[in-house]
Structure 1
């Protein structure tokens, strides 16, 4: 909402920050859903854009519902600052690579408790900006199970578009996606998804489950996760065969 209002007013982040007497980085965090404006700041935003109480009400609503997502916030902070992310997903497309319609279908149909579907989708899409930022775009190395390519999420068109989007993302020099084929049988990745982020020269991990998520910072436990990651990669196809498999799956969805 803030980015839309600012763009419509033809105002840069620096100009808005100056009007509010805050840092430009704070404005950027508001626009990428990393922080919720405090009441006074939201009131000042409404004054700048002559928007009544829109920002005040939206910020209050976001704070009211933020408890459901509080467990993931520490990870999102690391993710936004990461120079490299290694992600493994055995069941769904990694969040950083999801299209709008795939994310919408997943959040709507998979039992995820979100009070604002549109806001949740927008937040997920905004996370991917780290892959295309001008200043040192984050490197992403993702491994997915072949089941991710075959499991219908949304319509066949949603799946086809999503898989084509993965292929397009791999055209970026900082993005790589490989696939563990179904023929691999049992392998360490069947224990569940994991992610590793390199931030300020150190690695942190994240484990997700149906109830919450856990950020892993203990060096020994992070090292154990890295061993699991490397074991999973051994079962994945090389880059070119992986892309060919993704493209074949995309065509199978029509």
Structure 2
């Protein structure tokens, strides 16, 4: 039963949007059923999230409701989330809508910057009870997150503690490829990347967090912990974490010099 409930929850967003689009179009469930050739009970099940839609369902609904492909795009987005841990799904949705993301990571390479092999090595340690194929799918989903948001070119700014980049994860080859990936992203202008030196006194003695801007007047903060993470749009909390990120930036090495450090740790001349 628990697995069914989780599956239903994943598709409730699709059902909610389907109902909203149907009502905006002034179409009843019976009329939509007739237009698609399906039964009214199927339309009802899709709206309630108790039936998993396929791509051709989404495409047929887009055609019947003249949505311009909205439901098909939403369907693809939700399919991509199936291999994302449930506790992180809200953060991924925010990530795909953000115009700016500022993230601090003191423990591992930020998920958006991870290669598939680095992610897999991390996940094998964290989810040692999962099957190898499950871990592979999760790693591939993590590595696909950055390409999924690059189309609208959000500002991506990362501050990462020095120890994260000097500590090998998996194998030396995996770590070398991971550092090379960071260098490529920074030099291409895809991300801004700063190294926070490991010093006795630093503003970086805190859990990983990110501040995401969804528009001129809306921002949210996401803070990770051992069992997942929490999202808040409370203005005071957002302001506090934005100020903290500013302090981390100020304490970190400048972006260009940071990439020079990453190259040195990778073994480049």
TM over 0.5: yes
Normalization by structure 1: what TM-score?
0.73
Q: Which of 78, 88, 98 is matched with 1:35 structurally?
A: 78
Q: Pick from 213, 219, 226: which aligns with 1:203? A: 219
Are the aligned partners of 1:170 and 1:176 in contact in 2 as well (CA < 8 Å)? Answer: yes
Which residue of structure 2 lines up, in the alignment, with residue 194 of structure 1?
A: 209
Shift of 1:122: 2.0
Equivalent residue for 1:95?
111
Instruction: Give 1:85's match in structure 2, choosing from 89, 101, 105.
Output: 101
What are structure 1's unaligned runs of at least 5 residues? Answer: 1-14, 38-58
Higher gyration radius (CA): 2
Q: CA deviation at 1:168?
A: 0.1
Q: Which has the higher contact order (CA 8 A, sep 6+)?
A: 1
When the two chains are superposed, the root-mean-square deviation of aligned CA atoms in Å is 2.7
Q: Does 1:162 align with 2:205?
A: no
* In 2: Cα distance, 1:25 partner to 1:119 partner: 26
Query: CA offsets, 1:129-182, max 9 Å, x none?
Result: 24531xx31210001000111111111000000001000001233411010122
| 1:90 and 1:148 in contact (8 A); partners too | yes
- In 2, the alpha carbon distance for the partners of 1:109 and 1:18 equals 37
**What is the CA–CA distance in structure 2 between the aligned matches of 1:18 and 1:25, rounded to whole Å?**
9
Runs (5+) with no aligned partner, structure 2: 1-54
Does 1:129 find its partner at 2:144?
no
Query: Where does 1:52-131 land on structure 2 (aligned, <5 Å)?
Result: 62=82, 69-111=85-127, 116-131=134-149
CA shift, 1:187, in A, is 1.5
Deviation digits for residues 162-219 of structure 1, max 9, x if unmatched? 001000001233411010122x333122111110111133211100111120001111
Q: Please, what TM-score do these two structures have when normalized by structure 2?
A: 0.69
* CA 1:168–1:150: 2 relative to 1, 3 Å: same
Q: Are 1:181 and 1:237, in contact at CA under 8 Å, matched by a contact in 2?
A: yes
1:10-46: CA deviation from partner (whole Å, max 9, x where unpaired):
xxxxx96885333534433444xx4149xxxxxxxxx
Q: Contact (CA 8 Å) 2:219, 2:238: kept in 1 or not?
A: yes
CA distance in 2, matches of 1:180, 1:122: 28
